[in-house]
Every structure is written in structure tokens, then in C-alpha cells.
Amino acid sequence: MSESRRHAEVSGGGFAGLTAATALARMGWSVRLHERAPEFRTEGAGIVLWNNSLQVLDKIGAMPDLMSKSMTPPAYETRMNNVMQSQETLDGIRWRTLTRPHLYDTLLVAAREAGVEILVGSEVVSATPEGRITLADGSTADADLIVGADGVSSAVRDSLGVPLKRERSRDGITRFLVPRHKSELQALEPDTNWDNVIDFWNLDPRVLRVLYTPANDDELYIALMSPSADADGSRVPIDLDLWVSIFPQLAPVLEDAAKTPGKYYGYQTTRLEHWTEGKVALIGDAAHAMCPALAQGAGSAMQNAWTLAVAATAAGESEMADALTEWERLERPFTDRVQDRSQWYADSREMANGNQFVGESVEAALYNPTDPHRHEVKA
């Protein structure tokens, strides 16, 4: 059995790489995962996951752990210039909010349980279509499948010379995890349900936005958005007086955010000419970095990590390249649409009008990448 086991080398221990490695190992592969950083990144603030990634977490056995420290807020509320635009209860949509450290911990436990060999401080510098990777220390390894999950600046992708288009949006965001401060917020605004996600948009006279997302009973994820051209709005540490002047009801949490250094991320979208080359497949931000508007960057990454593992496992050894091409043909259109829609929302700031859970937003949120019938044309 062990002699016939196929082998995968995975570059990158983010949400994409950890999910792909775990899925492959559970499907019988021997898997080695390389993370360049000396330890797993537990920084990063909060995250929203929808059915498409939750289905994958079910399959890799990670859901009980994920559920233990995450929540489903009662509604998704949108305000513009402090006027309520909508309160969407998302009935029938499965979603969870949580912290990024908790998602990392959950995926790491799942990867170890599945028997993935995890190397930290191990940098992949290149890959070949024939299935060989080279590490920064000069050593090489051969595999039946190479997964490039090494993020938006992917070395695997760039070593293969895959043509890429990068577009930057005018807005960006600084993210924080802070204590909930629920009773103080309740005292400031008693009629508000502070368990909701609240998307506070301010467009006039100045574009500033706070996305307020409770991540569990104790922790709150807040994302502060401003145009990158606004030097004060995008400054880190944040300009506390400016933010409190626009969002006075959030003062207790903004004060905590101001104590953290923070990092401003400009939104960007990258599109590749192709996601695969021979025995190499690219997933996650290495393949399709997207604007966060639909909260689907990690979701799409985990979705494609799962479908890749299924497609590679079904392929015979001699037909890996063709199987990967077919995987991209089937899976990519959906991701492309989610990416386009996220960019459109980010560029138009259309979310400020509320009622955003229509079209691609709902479709992506409900999608089930583990359904074998998902590509069948519905009558």
C-alpha cells in the first residue's frame, strides 16, 4: 500500500495549502507541506466563512473544532452615513464568523491528524511542470502533484512564468481583533443589536468605513476602510480622533484598535492565464487574489483546494496534467465570477446601499464544492 501511495509537495501553509494538504492526506496521499515562515502565522484578525468552505471543513473533519469558537451573528446590517439601509438575516445560508488564529489552529490540528508532514522555515523557490520542486537550501524533491499555495507573490507560479494581470483598487483596509466591549457599546447605543455584523459606511463628506464583525463571545473583528489616497484615513496606527469623530458609537473599540500598530492593505485582484502547468496546480491567492467584498478569498481557496484533491486523486498517474487542466476548466468559471463580483463591489462601493445578499454573493455563499453533481446542468 505505502509503495503505491502517490506523493504531493505543497508550497505554502496558509488556508489554501493547509486545506489541500489535509484533503490529499485523507484521500491516501503522502503529503509534505512547506511553510517559508519560521512559524505558522497566527496574526491576522477575523474572517467570515460561508457554506462553500464550511462543507470542505466538514469533509476534512475540522468542523467540531471550528464551531467551538465561532458564531453566526443574527443579522448583517448595513448603514450609510448612519442611516440603516438593510438588516439581512441570511435565512437558509450557512455562515460563521471567527478569528484567523482560530482557523489556523483548526486547520493545523486537522493537517497533523491526517498525517501531513509539515516543515516550517522551508522555502520553495521553484517548481517544474514535470513535478520537481527546489527549496531555498538547494535540495529538490519529486512529486506526482505539486500544489502552489504560496500566496499572492507565489514563487511556484512565478518560477513557471505564468502570465498574470494585477489590478489595484482605490480602497484598502486595516484589520484588528479587539475585545467585544459589549456593555459599553450597548450603553452608547441601546437599540442596536451588537451581535450583528454591522457595516458602517460613511461616504459623505469623506469615505471611511468600519466593518464590525463579532467573531465569538469575547473577540471582535473590526476592519477600517479608507481610500489609499487618504493619508490620514489609511494611517497606522490609526488616527483615533478622525475615526471617533465619524463613528462616535464605536469609541471603546476604536481606542483598542489605536493601541495596535496595524497594517494597511490595498485591495488587489490578480488573474492568471492558467492555473495549472503539467503536474503543478495553483490555488488560493497564488491563483486568484480577490477583493474582500464578498468575503470569499479564503472560501474560494478552500473550495478549490478540495476540488483539486478530488480531481488529482481520481486521475491516473500518467494523466495528471490532463486531469489538472480539466479541473481548471470545470472549477475556474465560478471563481472568476466571484472574483469579478468582489472587484465590482469594491470599486463601486455599492455595498453601502445594503441588500447585498443577491446574485453571486448568495450563490457563492450557498455553493457546495463537495457535491459530485455540482456541474450538472439543471433542467
At its nearest, how many Å lie between ligand 5PR and the CB of residue 123? Answer: 28
Which of 33, 48, 323, 364 lies at the binding interface for ligand 5PR (CB under 6 A)?
48
Site string for ligand FAD, 102-121 (x = CB under 6 A): --------------------
Using rule CB under 6 A, residue 173 touches ligand 5PR: yes
Site string for ligand FAD, 163-182 (x = CB under 6 A): ----------x-x-------
Nearer to ligand 5PR, 351 or 365 (CB): 351
Using rule CB under 6 A, residue 14 touches ligand FAD: yes
Select the binding partner of residue 293 from ligand FAD, ligand 5PR, none (C-beta < 5 to 8 A, by kind). Answer: ligand 5PR
At its nearest, how many Å lie between ligand 5PR and the CB of residue 268? Answer: 12
Using rule CB under 6 A, residue 284 touches ligand FAD: yes
Using rule CB under 6 A, residue 223 touches ligand 5PR: yes
Which of 150, 171, 199, 328 lies at the binding interface for ligand FAD (CB under 6 A)?
150
Which of 133, 155, 257, 315 lies at the binding interface for ligand FAD (CB under 6 A)?
155
Select the binding partner of residue 304 from ligand FAD, ligand 5PR, none (C-beta < 5 to 8 A, by kind). Answer: none
Q: Kindly state the greatest CA–CA separation across the chain.
A: 67
Using rule CB under 6 A, residue 341 touches ligand FAD: no
Select the binding partner of residue 219 from ligand FAD, ligand 5PR, none (C-beta < 5 to 8 A, by kind). Answer: none
Which of 63, 80, 149, 162 lies at the binding interface for ligand FAD (CB under 6 A)?
149
Distance from C-alpha of 214 to C-alpha of 186, rounded to nearest angstrom: 14
Residues in contact with ligand FAD by the rule CB under 6 A: 11-17, 34-37, 41, 47-48, 123-124, 149-151, 155, 173, 175, 223, 265, 284-286, 292, 295-299, 301
